[in-house]
A and B are shown apart, each in its own frame.
Chain A
Amino acid sequence: MNTLASRDPDRDINIEVPLLTRVEGEGSLELTARNGRIETLQLSIFEPPRLFEKFLEGQDYTEVPHIAARVCGVCPIAYQMTSIRAMEKIFGVVEDPWVHAMRRVIYYGEWLQSHALHINLFAAPDFLGFADALEMASRFPDEVKRGMQLQGLGNDMLRLLGGRSVHPIGLRVGGFHRAPPKHEVADLVDKLLAARDMVREFVAWAVSLPCPVDEQTFVSVAIRHPREYGLNEGRLASDQGLDIDFADYPRHFREHQVAHSTAHYSMMDGRSYFLGPLARMNLNFDRLPLEIQDFARDLGLKFPARNMFMNVAARALECYLAIVDTLNILQRYKLPTRPWQDFTPRAGVGHHCTEAPRGMIYHRFELDANGRVIIATMIPPTSQNQARLEQNLHVAVERFGLNHPDDALRDLCEKVIRNYDPCLSCSTHFLKLKVTRGE
């Protein structure tokens, strides 16, 4: 290996990764350094703008969940659920306990399939020194199969309530189109029970991966709920004292454009902030079921954590949570009289946040008296994380040292980026006709 050989840190460094792999969407990385100082370190997202907010204008509220789901094939529930809850607030719908519980189940399905995919096929090859999951599969076949089984279980959870795992069709404003019959729920409960030991082994394995240590200073932001692990209801909180209603999001969070990326950058009260599994765990560890808290402690985990790569451990613990909490809900399953609530469309503005697998997502909808969309705003986690991610890259590269060979610097940067599990497609949510590019 030549990666440990030292190089002149004052040399001219020009590293370009034209297309990042094992992330969703299209983006590149540019690192230039002169005389021992970083000049440019940018994650450039060149995925074309998606225009979904404009597509939604003029659409009936009933169409919104189906259109919003198309923003992302990995986390459609995040887009559906957040838009549905924002519109329910306009219509005065108070979430029914059955609907609330089932919404958690389908959201957990999305977390499980997304997290298992990321840990298994995207992150683990980084830490174990393989070029990709295919190469890793030949050395760790049982581990890869286990990750795929968990991913498949997440898809089963999505299908139970959504009808299908990609762009589910079961959700509607007011609840669900269909309540699954008891025998379908019982089948899933059997699978969840069978997966309980498996997910503990998965967490232990994920925690044992030789992750780098990358201690950083950052602000964690996530949903906090009085009783539950923040997912689809609660308030927005940070470890720096933020505690606001979702409707106050626009007062604290601001987006701006930069020349090198089609994704927006987001700041909270003028500062970057961090979203995702580690931010959630830092704020909500005490909301985990006790068996998961105890298991985490047994594995030597401690939250809040400042090592960015603890994102992997947090993601794995959330897989465990997805199975335990879904079991808690479905083992007490009762058929509802009807799986949705009635309401009358009316004009207004509604805000809501939920926790997508990659972090908090914010939606604001303004509807007319007939329930048609006047303005839609959908701010995904990856664009909110982008400023923090670039700061993370700067600090990580400076600490690692520019004296390392270019290949080692490139590997480090790619690991840092993949650690966020970024979705570069959904981050490109806005278009301005005039874009001013930097010098």
Chain B
Amino acid sequence: MTDTLVAGIGSPHGADRLGWAVIEALRSMTLPASVALMCCSLPAELTSRLLETPRVIVIDALLGSGPAGKIHHLCAADLPQAGLRLSSHGVGLVDAVLLASALGMPADRLSVLALDVMHPETELDPAWIDGLARCVCGLLDAPH
């Protein structure tokens, strides 16, 4: 039974692969059996997961003003104000979360770890991936 889903949003190339890279790092770690890991291309796919999973941790790249590598820990209410990278086809993470909220998702279900990569072409620093993986483990250890 999955009680926590950790979803990395991204694609195979550039700084956008950050979410997937963190999921790959987490796969090599020992996590509780109740934690599911997911590489996600379409944030729209998250809406149904947000409705059915007690706790969801999302990892995504953020195009902010820097400094590069800064991690932002956001909740659902922060998302409309955050400069999270836009996704394709008009359904980005913000839209997916807003739709889940409209469908009854409890506000405290979602945690978003967004790392500022500043530019889509930025080369990922392995330390960023390690840092995000540690943040995920910290959230998993903390009571929810």
Contacts and interface: CB of A to CB of B under 8 A. Distances in A.
A21 B88 CA distance: 13
Interface in B35-67: 39, 41-42, 44-45, 47-48, 51
A141 B104 CA distance: 9
Nearest to A122: B90
A137 B102 contact: yes
A165 B76 CA distance: 25
A134 B103 CA distance: 9
B78 to A, nearest CB: 18
B118 interface: no
Contacts of B41: 164-167
B144 interface: no
Contacts of B102: 134, 137-138, 141
A322 B132 CA distance: 40
B107 to A, nearest CB: 15
Nearest to B88: A73
A259 B137 CA distance: 56
A73 B92 CA distance: 13
A379 interface: no
B69 to A, nearest CB: 27
B99 A134 contact: yes
A117 interface: yes
Question: In terms of DSSP, what is the predominant structure of the interface of chain B?
Answer: helix
Contacts, number: 45
Contacts of A155: 42, 45
Contact of A148 (B11, B47, B90, B104): B47
Contacts of A166: 11, 41-42
Contacts of A141: 102-104
A160 interface: no
A165 B47 contact: no
A405 interface: no
Quick one: which of B39, B42, B95 has the most chain A CB within 10 A? B42
A300 to B, nearest CB: 31
Interface string B102-139: 11100000000000000000000000000000000000
A137 B45 contact: no
Contacts of B51: 145
Interface in B1-57: 11, 39, 41-42, 44-45, 47-48, 51
B98 interface: yes
Contacts of A137: 99, 102-103
Nearest to B49: A152
Contacts of B39: 164
Given A74-B89, A152-B48, A145 B42 contact: no
B12 to A, nearest CB: 8
Most buried by A among B39, B51, B88: B88
Contacts of A138: 102
Contacts of A321: none
A24 interface: yes
Interface residues of B, number: 19
A244 interface: no
Contacts of A151: 44
Interface in A125-139: 133-134, 137-138
A21 B95 CA distance: 14
A35 B21 CA distance: 62
Given A133-B99, A141-B104, A149 B48 contact: yes
A91 to B, nearest CB: 28
Interface string A157-168: 000000011110
Interface string A45-58: 00000000000000
A22 interface: yes
Contacts of A164: 39, 41
Contacts of A393: none
Nearest to B104: A141
A145 B39 CA distance: 22
Nearest to A137: B102
A24 B45 contact: no
Interface string A17-38: 0000110100000000000000
Nearest to A25: B89
Interface in B72-109: 88-91, 95, 98-99, 102-104
Given A73-B42, A74-B89, A144-B103, 8 more contacts: A21-B90, A22-B90, A137-B99, A141-B102, A145-B51, A164-B39, A164-B41, A165-B42
Interface of A: 21-22, 24, 73-74, 117, 121, 133-134, 137-138, 141, 144-145, 148-149, 151-152, 155, 164-167
Q: Which 3 A-B pairs have the closest CB atoms?
A: A166-B41, A137-B102, A73-B88
22 contacts: A21-B90, A24-B89, A24-B90, A73-B42, A73-B89, A121-B91, A133-B99, A134-B95, A137-B99, A137-B102, A137-B103, A138-B102, A141-B102, A144-B103, A145-B51, A145-B103, A148-B47, A152-B45, A155-B42, A155-B45, A164-B39, A166-B11
